[in-house]
Amino acid sequence: MKKIVLFASGSGTNAENIILHFNKTNSGTVAAVFSNNPDAKVLERAQKLNVPTVVFSKEQFSDGTILQKLIDLKPDLIVLAGFLLKLPHSLVEAFPDKIINIHPALLPKYGGKGMYGMHVHRAIIENKEVETGISIHFVNEHYDEGNIIFQKTVALNGKESPEEVAEKVHQLEQLHFPEVIAELLK
């Protein structure tokens, strides 16, 4: 069975959704959830679903400790699901075209350093965009610049709050992220 490793820094709703999706299939399994945040809700969600967790420091991320753990796990795919740190070059190099990320906007718009979560949704409203969506892309050495695998749009009426935009985007993430991962594992 194909192995997925998830990286997350926050609440973990996407990670939980991915774990639940693959618990119902034979196409893959989530082997572990890695987090740089010892207080992240994702850790609790993963543990409730019997998925091993690894909490690490920035030093362990950059000194090769996490890279070695990943090499030992031999994942078929590494999935960033709300992970906020930039990956070290050595990790990206060790897993070419095996690391994907989801971004809460239609890249290349609203990508790059500092463009995550509500920052993205506020910028979309400020610029009076008529649509937004999600982008799932391969990870390279630059924030949000890897080749795009999948995008899905949702219309905006110009009256939404940032929280309402976030909810529309989150619904797209929940629906499409596990499906795209499953396709990549084939």
Q: Is the dihedral of CA 61, 76, 144, 169 positive or negative?
A: negative
Q: Is 119 a catalytic residue?
A: no
Q: Is the dihedral of CA 88, 89, 93, 99 positive or negative?
A: positive
- Catalytic choice (21, 103, 121, 137): 103
Angstrom distance (rounded) from CA 64 to CA 41:
25
| Sheet of strand 3-7: strand arrangement | 53-55, 29-35, 3-7, 77-80, 99-103, 131-138, 148-155
Would you give the DSSP letter of residue 142? S
1, two tokens? 């069975």
Residue carrying structure tokens 């924030």: 143
Angstrom distance (rounded) from CA 43 to CA 39:
8
Q: Which residues are catalytic?
A: 103
